[in-house]
């Protein structure tokens, strides 16, 4: 069972993964999330306790479990984005709205929605719906 996460934790997971191969330190997390360093420290500590993030020599990265959780969030995000776009909602607005709930969705519900949509390969932004790890 995957751990419960907050919206800020979701945002942190996403920026850590999408930062690429660049080393991320605490001040980078604070900057990317537009929070103060003590808030970023608390956030990272919570994610470490949930085995989503690891910290080594000041470098912060996702654990394997964190990477899998990122993939689940992204699949949920892109699946829900497709539903909204197909319903006539502008893709940018759909994206911003879906960010508010994508981390709350369970994997089995997303899989059913994804299948019901015909297993689309790309989202409205042209990105793969199913990350390569899923």
Give residue 134's pLDDT band: very low, low, confident or very high (50, 70, 90). low
Percent of the chain with pLDDT over 70: 98
Q: If you average pLDDT over residues 115-120, what whole number do you get?
A: 96
pTM for the predicted model, two decimal places: 0.91
Q: How far is CA 59 from the centre of its chain?
A: 19
State which fold the 7-62 domain adopts.
Arc Repressor Mutant, subunit A (1.10.10)
3-12 pLDDT tens trace = 899 999 999 9
Enumerate the domain spans of the chain. Answer: 7-62, 72-134
Do 7-62 and 72-134 come out as alike in CATH topology?
yes
46-69 pLDDT tens trace = 999 999 999 999 999 999 999 999
The Cα–Cα gap between 126 and 128 comes to 7
Computed over its alpha carbons, how large is the radius of gyration of the chain? Answer: 15
The Cα–Cα gap between 60 and 74 comes to 20
The Cα–Cα gap between 66 and 20 comes to 14
Q: Which CATH class is domain 72-134?
A: mainly alpha
Q: pLDDT averaged over the chain?
A: 93
């Amino acid at each position: 069972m995957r751990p419960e996460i907050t919206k800020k934790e979701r945002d942190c997971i996403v920026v850590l993964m999408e930062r690429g191969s660049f080393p991320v330190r605490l001040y980078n997390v604070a900057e990317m999330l537009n929070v103060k360093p003590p808030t970023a420290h608390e956030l990272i500590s919570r994610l470490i306790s949930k085995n989503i993030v690891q910290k080594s020599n000041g470098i912060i990265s996702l654990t394997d479990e964190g990477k899998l959780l990122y993939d689940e969030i992204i699949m949920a995000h892109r699946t829900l984005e497709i539903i909204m776009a197909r319903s006539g909602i502008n893709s940018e607005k759909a994206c911003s709205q879906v960010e508010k709930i994508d981390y709350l969705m369970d994997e089995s519900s997303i899989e059913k929605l994804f299948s019901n949509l015909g297993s689309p390969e790309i989202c409205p932004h042209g990105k793969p719906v199913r990350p390569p790890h899923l």
